[in-house]
Structure 1
């Protein structure tokens, strides 16, 4: 709303819809024109315009006929490109894009302006990022592709079958919410796993931060092993560990923001402070020109998801019992202990219990911060067990991160 007026009201006229449909069609055809395809900016604009016209006329039969003609034209275009270019297969991208352009015109005519723009932008991105997407696909191993497919199928098949109501005596376990949190955390890990594989050779900073989003403990272990007995890598190892902790805090804040928007500010401020402090200190302390590669395994597999889910469920039940028996303090202590194993489980537990009404926002925030702080501290011990020379710097800087988070979060809890 701008000044009490919905800006989309100006698009409700038929003329405005026709103009928008044409503009989005031109936008879709821009990349095809630039790539010197047989169907370019004018063809795509006319397809979207025709779809909008047929929709506004209000004759379903005309709209169907138009769609059939677009499909037929797309097929003929694909066959023509195959015959003339003498390639090993049909080039269907332009043909599919023509059908998308037709759909965009229909969406605009139906008044679905946000949806039509979204489809146009996403389609253009898919066209522009051709090389990057192909490189990404071919860069995955067969096992990674198989794991991702298995996990995706399981996620989307299982989710609708799970009950939306709580199923335990404490009213804490809501299967759909639990599974959606498991999927979300695993998906975050997989995306950043791909980024690490793609860009980790560019330096410790990339591996430290994005690797921390995948598995911060694995990053700490890798850095500590590399720094053992090498004074020249001490500062880089400390900086990378701080980046991994910063990434972990950022991930936890993102999970809360997505699933519990009302707690986004209260959680985001302390965890955001930890993220900024970790990145700031790491940048200040270290020279990032040295490159490295970390040994990370894909988090987007059925086994990893079920392991995380089982741990999450165990912590969830323990936290519910502790909260019922000892109140908020029991939950916070349980969150701290869970954070020693995985801050992801303590965060998702807080989100789940808040979603089922077992705890309040303040208690959930305290639990997330406690779990994150515990995870930061335990990494000091973990790093020290591999390279003792890292004990002092890692411990002191990690204490600073925790202090920054607490100082940033306490005022919000007291409001």
Structure 2
């Protein structure tokens, strides 16, 4: 490597150490000088040491970097023990963090710089998320942990054993693809579930609506409906939060569809982006006059990784995928629109995935986009019906008006796209 590249690589190693050191220094900012074993300067030097060791190792072999790593661990163990013994602190996070920073410094000098940079960011995020992660573990139930472990086992043990091909004569049911998509959707929902559990209800109605929309916008809308009956004065704010959940459901629909079929990006964006904007604007208008005391909302959503919930979704996805493939072959591409209207009522994800898999192949892209959008409309209308049936009149009426505006705006924008693209 030339000198310019060497400076870049060692500079990255130093930056990784600085990044981790800033986090460590901030965590221990209340400690007096001399009480900290390692802060911003020490971690910066550890990263720099790793970069220099890696650079030397490219010319002299791996013996010196290994010796430096051993010496670093011994030094940190001795000083951490001397500092921790009086206060009864048995955490080894500082030692492990220093060793990781050193290793990333070596990778910076000898390997892929992108991997090293990503590792530095992930390390710092994990260090900074100490309180949030510990808080989540304290509130995690055995059922949640068991469900996640069972599904991880089924994903990494059972998934490779499933046949990665259609097992029916019509080519509509691929066990491997169905189960893989099921796990991916559950993981996406679980991300919102974890965010809601970690943050707690103190973050307010809007935050609950956003995270709940990632988990299940339908369940969130229904949960808000029940709260609106118990607390009618909150109907306006709850309708705004349900609007945020509806907007997140459109984002989720877009991400799923485009991830499977990138050709759907443009047609869906022209309809879903204006719809999302309408949801967000309506949400902030409805929540513009809320009181601080009224912002707490404790949602009770089921764990997306609950075993039977995932199996039910997997079965629904399999049925919808098989039906869509079979009917398209028997009745033609336009039949996907009818399937989407019906399938969108209970769940938007399954028909979105099934349609996206057919887009550009068995079904024209525009027809597939229309099917996804009609499924979204069907799902939004279902939420309004649930809001009217289970919530206060004000909650149902406001959500219906917002949903109508979203459907009209999105429909007009999509019609304009079709008109100008032909």
TM-score (norm 2): 0.85
The Cα offsets for residues 342-399 of structure 1, whole Å up to 9 and x where unpaired, read as 11211122233349x3334323222211111101111222222224725544333322
CA 1:60–1:169 in 2, change beyond 3 Å: closer, same or farther? Answer: farther
Asked if structure 1 preserves the Cα contact closer than 8 Å seen for 2:20 and 2:123, the reply is yes
The Cα offsets for residues 40-97 of structure 1, whole Å up to 9 and x where unpaired, read as 4444444444443444445698425523542464256336534552365632212212
CA 1:337–1:27 in 2, change beyond 3 Å: closer, same or farther? Answer: same
CA distance in 1, matches of 2:43, 2:398: 60
Aligned position for 1:6: none
The question of 1:379 aligning with 2:383 is answered yes
- In the alignment, structure 1 segments of 5+ residues that lack a partner are 1-8
CA RMSD of aligned residues (A): 2.9
Asked if structure 2 preserves the Cα contact closer than 8 Å seen for 1:207 and 1:294, the reply is yes
The question of 1:397 aligning with 2:398 is answered no
- Aligned pairs for 1:179-198 (under 5 A) are 179-197=179-197, 198=199
Aligned position for 1:52: 51
Match of 2:358 among 353, 369, 391: 353
- Aligned pairs for 1:9-408 (under 5 A) are 13-34=5-26, 35=28, 37-57=36-56, 62-63=61-62, 65-67=64-66, 69-71=68-70, 73-74=72-73, 77-78=76-77, 80-82=79-81, 84-86=83-85, 90-197=90-197, 198-228=199-229, 231-286=232-287, 287-289=289-291, 290=294, 291-354=296-359, 357-387=361-391, 389=393, 392-408=397-413
Asked if structure 2 preserves the Cα contact closer than 8 Å seen for 1:250 and 1:275, the reply is yes
Asked if structure 2 preserves the Cα contact closer than 8 Å seen for 1:10 and 1:16, the reply is no
CA 1:206–1:55 in 2, change beyond 3 Å: closer, same or farther? Answer: closer
Asked if structure 1 preserves the Cα contact closer than 8 Å seen for 2:58 and 2:110, the reply is no
CA distance in 1, matches of 2:50, 2:216: 48
CA distance in 1, matches of 2:23, 2:229: 51
- In the alignment, structure 2 segments of 5+ residues that lack a partner are 29-34
Number of residue pairs aligned between Structure 1 and Structure 2: 406
TM-score (norm 1): 0.86
CA distance in 2, matches of 1:231, 1:90: 51
Asked if structure 1 preserves the Cα contact closer than 8 Å seen for 2:355 and 2:368, the reply is yes
Asked if structure 1 preserves the Cα contact closer than 8 Å seen for 2:57 and 2:65, the reply is no
